[in-house]
Amino acid sequence: MARKILLEKLDIPGIAEYEVYRKNGGYASVEKALKTMTPDEVVEEVKTSGVRGRGGAGFPMGLKWSFIDKKSGKPRHLVVNADESEPGTFKDRFLMHHIPHLLIEGAIVSSYALEANLSYIYIRGEYMWIFKILEKAIKEAYANGWLGKNILGTGYNLDLYVHCGAGAYICGEETALIESLEGKRGNPRIKPPFPAVSGLWGEPTVVNNVESISTVSWIINNGGAEYAKIGVGKSTGTKLMSASGHIKNPGVYEIELGLTVDEFFNSDEYCGGMLDDRPLKAVIPGGCSVPILPPQYIFKTANGEDRLISYESLADGGFVTGSSLGSGGFIVYNDTACIVRNTWNFSRFFHHESCGQCSPCREGTGWMDKILHRIETGQGREEDIDLLWSIQSKIEGNTICPLGDAASWPVAAAIRHFREEFEYHVRFPEKIKNRDHFVDEPMEKVRHLLK
């Protein structure tokens, strides 16, 4: 049985309730941090742990905290990014739903480390029932002296609020989130200045993901060095994975980083293998914004080593033969799935969610959406595939925020690894018109037609 940090108390009946959470060690890290540690010591402990941001970028969290401006004298803020909107990712929702006080506890300790007296949880607009769960948990924390004035008699003050967004995916980007929190349109800001210097209301701000902040309690209770022993290399600790698609056991799993993709995929403890034992066609390992992988690069890297669930191993080979851990959205496709339709769905999503601020993203995502729709509906042209490749290559790296990159990577990977499927759509439109999401015949059975 794999070691658990975030979900170790999941099976305790009533753990979402304050009394049960407290009886089972809840808020112990707040007591330890506020009574026996300085803010800088908390930051150093998180640095020692090596924990990296779990929202997708994987930046070392302790290092990010150390960047916050403490010299200007301005108020500082923690903003917890609960705007989980990446298709294929639902682990933060699971965590907040089942163990809400774990996030509140982590937010208090993190705010103390940053010397912040006003912090926020910014939650996705579609998560209204989770919003209510968090509001209840925050009220309980206030009622029991964990929030408010003079917490535990230490002189530390903290107010924490949960703020509901309006359903914009772009607000998952930290500066767009801050703009939205200020009551403005959620457009990403040009960096620098970075939020650690000028964030919410022009004041030093740290934005971290729900899973990242929820990890802090364990690190403080057990020590950063102990946390660093878990995982592999620079991928320390555990990771929540959202497993979905054509697998026997979809759901949220906590794995120790360094677990092989093979074990995660085939073990009954996790995904359980392919649903109905159909052939595996592809896997997206980190949410819809990371490159899709064909079977030959899922379980092994290009040089023949076991592919591990870690930041380094999943990225091995770059985007030519690798992908990214991303947000941990593990999406599995069997041989009946249409890669062209899937890629079009993602492009349609990114086009809809683009804020429109940058021309390459605003126009490019729209062009890709239209061309992919054309190919998928049997109206594709021979030159469309190369045109798609050209468009995506001109979006990546040319936008203010990473949404442009996120929109281009799935298209590039789909063409790179499944080009023949695009060619089949263009050359045999009569075979793909008027069908549903699944192909009538798996590619293996029609590949000979392309020759």
Based on the fold, state whether residues 194 and 108 are members of the same structural domain.
yes
Interval 144-159 mean pLDDT: 97
Based on the fold, state whether residues 351 and 423 are members of the same structural domain.
yes
Q: What CATH number should be reported for the domain holding residue 106?
A: 3.40.50.11540
Sorted by sequence, the CB contacts under 8 Å of residue 25 that are 6+ apart come out as: 9, 221
- Residues 120 and 80: beta-carbon distance below 8 Å: yes
Based on the fold, state whether residues 224 and 363 are members of the same structural domain.
no
Based on the fold, state whether residues 245 and 287 are members of the same structural domain.
yes
Q: What CATH number should be reported for the domain holding residue 315?
A: 3.10.20.600
Looking at residue 70, its pLDDT comes to: 86
Based on the fold, state whether residues 218 and 248 are members of the same structural domain.
no
Q: Does a structural domain hold residue 5?
A: no
Give 165's pLDDT tier (boundaries 50, 70, 90). very high
Q: Which of 288, 312, 334 is the last residue of a domain?
A: 334
Residue range of the domain that includes 413: 339-450
Token pair for 378: 């049997």
Token pair for 385: 């595939």
Q: Does a structural domain hold residue 157?
A: yes
Helices 339-353 and 403-427 sit at what angle, rounded to 10 degrees? 140
Q: Which of 213, 229, 245 is the last residue of a domain?
A: 229
Report how far residue 97's alpha carbon sits from residue 67's, in angstroms, rounded to the nearest whole number: 31
Give 358's pLDDT tier (boundaries 50, 70, 90). very high
Based on the fold, state whether residues 41 and 133 are members of the same structural domain.
yes
Interval 157-170 mean pLDDT: 96
Give Cα separations from 168 to 63, 100, 356 (angstroms): 28, 23, 12
Count Cα neighbours of 247 within 13 Å in the Cβ-side half-sphere. Answer: 24
pLDDT cut 70: percent of the chain above it: 98
Q: Does a structural domain hold residue 282?
A: yes
Based on the fold, state whether residues 93 and 221 are members of the same structural domain.
yes
Interval 119-140 mean pLDDT: 97
Q: Does a structural domain hold residue 430?
A: yes
Give 340's pLDDT tier (boundaries 50, 70, 90). very high
pLDDT for 448 beyond 90: no
Based on the fold, state whether residues 236 and 225 are members of the same structural domain.
no
- Residues 274 and 243: beta-carbon distance below 8 Å: no
Looking at residue 52, its pLDDT comes to: 96
Interval 221-236 mean pLDDT: 96
Mean pLDDT score of the chain: 94
Q: What is the pLDDT of residues 324-334, one digit of tens each?
A: 999 999 999 99
Q: Does a structural domain hold residue 409?
A: yes
Burial class of 35 by CB neighbour count within 10 A (0 to 12, 13 to 18, 19+): exposed
Based on the fold, state whether residues 115 and 261 are members of the same structural domain.
no
Which residue spans within 261-370 are E strands per DSSP? Answer: 280-284, 329-334
Q: What is the pLDDT of residues 375-402, one digit of tens each?
A: 999 999 999 999 999 999 999 999 999 9
Q: What is the pLDDT of residues 44-96, one digit of tens each?
A: 999 999 999 998 888 999 999 999 998 889 999 999 999 999 999 999 999 99
Q: What is the pLDDT of residues 94-112, one digit of tens each?
A: 999 999 999 999 999 999 9
Q: Does a structural domain hold residue 305?
A: yes
Looking at residue 325, its pLDDT comes to: 96
Q: Which of 296, 314, 334 is the last residue of a domain?
A: 334
Based on the fold, state whether residues 121 and 153 are members of the same structural domain.
yes
Give 255's pLDDT tier (boundaries 50, 70, 90). very high
240 phi/psi in degrees, rounded to 5: -85, 130
Based on the fold, state whether residues 312 and 192 are members of the same structural domain.
no
Question: Of 312, 324, 51, 34, which is closest to residue 156 (Cα–Cα)?
Answer: 34
Looking at residue 321, its pLDDT comes to: 92
Based on the fold, state whether residues 172 and 212 are members of the same structural domain.
yes
Which residue spans within 101-164 are E strands per DSSP? Answer: 118-123, 148-151, 156-164
Report how far residue 367's alpha carbon sits from residue 416's, in angstroms, rounded to the nearest whole number: 19
Report how far residue 336's alpha carbon sits from residue 279's, in angstroms, rounded to the nearest whole number: 9
Q: What is the pLDDT of residues 259-297, one digit of tens each?
A: 999 999 999 999 999 999 999 999 999 999 999 999 999
Question: Of 82, 80, 158, which is closest to residue 115 (Cα–Cα)?
Answer: 158
Give 434's pLDDT tier (boundaries 50, 70, 90). low
Looking at residue 430, its pLDDT comes to: 84
Give 439's pLDDT tier (boundaries 50, 70, 90). low
Looking at residue 56, its pLDDT comes to: 83
238-245 and 251-256 beta bridge pairing: antiparallel
Number of domains in the chain: 3
- In our burial notation (b when 16+ CB lie closer than 10 A, e otherwise), range 61-83 reads bbebbbebbeeeebebbbbbbbb
